[in-house]
Structure 1
Amino acid sequence: MKKITVIGSMSIDLVVSASKRPGKGETILGDDFFTTPGGKGANQAVAAARLGEKVQMVGRIGEDDFGKEIYGNLKNNHVIVDGVEPVTHVPSGTAHITLSEQDNSIIVVPSANNEVTPDFVKKHLEALTEGDIVLLQQEIPSETVEYVVEFCSENGLVSILNPAPYREINKSIIEKVDYLTPNETESDEMFKGDLDDALSAYPMKLIVTLGDKGAVYHNGKEKVQVDGFKRDVKDTTGAGDTFNGAFAVALQKEYNLEKALAFANLAASYSVTGMGAQGGMPTLEDIKGEWNV
């Protein structure tokens, strides 16, 4: 059976909630604080694994308590951890998250995630077989992202790049990746122009997520919007990661693109109903009432 491999970041999220965000030089009282496993790579791996697929994680953690927590959480969610290796000279990655006004703002400190180098990922890529799906984000070095996309293109692997957090991407990488999944803000920064023009330039490749409005792509003839699902929002952290993990699962199930995006939208809508990046990520059992699984 083909599998999904996530190459990317792992971290511990340090989350504070407050009624508003502090202004420059301002101190305010918060409402709550908690820590939880996160990192876009780990989030995507957990999202896909909870939906029943065979998922491997490839990345680096520190030899510290956070690293042990990250590793244990992946195992508890049935993610294959053979590709998760510790480093001794830097700590595990962290993300510092403020929840306020039904949205979030995040500062990411990559630390061990910067050690996810081309040399490190090479052996894991070479163990994959044609048709396997590789899911990427941008909390690891840009040269690694480029190396992985090029390797996938040359070896018959299906690549999905979620360009978050946004940084400039070489046009050659956009051409070679199979699926590119920015949100609206990332798409605006990437293409610096009209959304319709960008979608039509990359049919069946560029998928722009629109929050609870769903996602949009171009099918080669026209723009197609796949509607989302509205939920009572507790925490939007991890919704995009859930979308990408679920999208990989849908491709593994050989859904067509429109159906795959509907499945991803549904999973992402559940994710905002729990606290923390992974707190609301659904299982197949959770969504069976709204999806014929």
Structure 2
Amino acid sequence: MSEKLVLTFGAACIDYIAVFDTFPKPEDKVRTQSLTLCGGGNAGNTSTCLSRLNINTKIVCKIGDDGNGKKILQDFKNDNVNTQEVLIKQGMTTSLTYVIVDITNATRTCLFSPSAEEILVDDVKKLGQSWLNGIDLVHFDSRSTPAAVELARLVKQNNILCTLDLEKYRPSLENLLLLIDYIVTTERYSLSCNETPVTTAVRLLKSDRCKFVVITKGKDGSMLVQKRILENKNENFNRVSKENIVYDDIEYDVINCPSWPIDQKDIMDTTGAGDAFIGGIIFSILQKWSIEKMMCFASYVAMRKLKGLGARMTLPRLDEINFSIFD
């Protein structure tokens, strides 16, 4: 395992994944090709990805003391994710997600059934400082946002790096954004804000703390935007393209990276691809890799995930990766 230690903060749940030839129409009665029970949740998936990449990882999430909660803990232990900070609520039903996978169109639709209680501000006030002992980076998945803000303030006081998976608008989000070093979001989020990916990134970069914003675009790859760094020694990666733009008299670097090549027939399920991508980003930050190498590596990790059912089945392990393909 790496000497680096990452704390993830957010959601862990159980995914019930039903595979269909095509998405059912209203009033249809159709048979599934398969029904699979597996671990899910944004923070949970990214934790598993990091652990398989030999990054010491511990997770803070809240689960119930039911069968699904026990399965979540066992899955984490099987992947060497540290669960000592997991909050277990007696009598609470653990969150679960019903996932409909459309094989023909390579899409997935998620129906989320949340638990009765997220991580609370009081949980952070009681335990937050102890969670940060020895931590090099904290990753937030934007769930339990008020509690995340409380923890992010402690993170800042302790001079610890932090990343954010910005999935959609949530209460207290604006307060959290001011405390984040690196943001990964989606083209869908930009559309929900009536913005383009670039204007979303420029808005988020107005925070003095934020160093870069990555926007994922599914099969169309990803884009990174950062304030122009004149002394930036960019590596020459043929897979990425670079340009400079100006907004409100401020110069920005824009780096576009295509998705890693994969045959359509090899795409089993897109569930958790974004979480895998974020795992690749965090791994790269800890290695202090160049922006270009980071984007390529994260794209590769996401591609590997696409080959399996559920969010974790085909997440790569460190010793399976030929790192020369990123040189």
Verify same fold: TM over 0.5: yes
Query: Structure 1 residue 165: deviation in Å?
Result: 5.2
The residue that corresponds to 2:124 in the other structure is 121
Question: What SS class does the counterpart of residue 300 from structure 2 fall into?
Answer: helix
What TM-score comes out, normalization by structure 2 length?
0.81
Deviations 1:31-60 (A, max 9, x none): 221111111111110000000111011112
| Correspondence list, 1:53-92, <5 A | 53-92=55-94
CA distance, structure 2, for counterparts of residue 153 and residue 35 of structure 1:
37
Q: Is the alpha carbon distance of 1:290 and 1:215 closer, same or farther for their aligned partners in structure 2, counting shifts above 3 Å?
A: farther
Contact 1:12/1:39 (CA < 8 Å) preserved in 2? yes
How many residue pairs were aligned? 290
Contact 1:42/1:57 (CA < 8 Å) preserved in 2? yes
Q: What stretches of structure 2 of length at least 5 have no aligned partner? A: 229-243, 245-253
Root mean square deviation of aligned Cα: 2.3
The residue that corresponds to 1:284 in the other structure is 318
What TM-score comes out, normalization by structure 1 length?
0.90
Which one of 217, 223, 234 corresponds to residue 216 of structure 1?
Answer: 223
1:261 maps onto 2:300 in alignment: no
Greater Cα shift, 42-51 or 17-26: 17-26
The residue that corresponds to 1:180 in the other structure is 183
The residue that corresponds to 1:145 in the other structure is 148
CA distance, structure 1, for counterparts of residue 288 and residue 294 of structure 2:
8
Which one of 132, 138, 155 corresponds to residue 136 of structure 2?
Answer: 132
Contact 2:293/2:326 (CA < 8 Å) preserved in 1? no
Question: What SS class does the counterpart of residue 219 from structure 1 fall into?
Answer: strand
| Correspondence list, 1:92-103, <5 A | 92-100=94-102, 101-103=105-107
Query: Structure 1 residue 197: deviation in Å?
Result: 2.4
1:246 maps onto 2:280 in alignment: yes
Contact 1:204/1:257 (CA < 8 Å) preserved in 2? no
Q: Percent identity?
A: 22
The residue that corresponds to 2:36 in the other structure is 34
Greater Cα shift, 30-39 or 252-261: 252-261
Question: What SS class does the counterpart of residue 60 from structure 2 fall into?
Answer: strand
Question: What SS class does the counterpart of residue 96 from structure 2 fall into?
Answer: strand
CA distance, structure 2, for counterparts of residue 257 and residue 147 of structure 1:
29
Contact 1:180/1:206 (CA < 8 Å) preserved in 2? yes
Q: What stretches of structure 1 of length at least 5 have no aligned partner? A: none
Question: What SS class does the counterpart of residue 86 from structure 1 fall into?
Answer: strand
Contact 1:215/1:227 (CA < 8 Å) preserved in 2? yes
Larger Rg: 2
CA distance, structure 1, for counterparts of residue 274 and residue 60 of structure 2:
19
CA distance, structure 2, for counterparts of residue 187 and residue 20 of structure 1:
28
Query: Structure 1 residue 250: deviation in Å?
Result: 1.3
Question: What SS class does the counterpart of residue 97 from structure 1 fall into?
Answer: strand
Greater Cα shift, 100-109 or 167-176: 167-176
| Correspondence list, 1:3-42, <5 A | 3-42=5-44
Contact 1:58/1:121 (CA < 8 Å) preserved in 2? no
CA distance, structure 1, for counterparts of residue 137 and residue 99 of structure 2:
30
Deviations 1:115-152 (A, max 9, x none): 311222342444425872111113x3221232233332
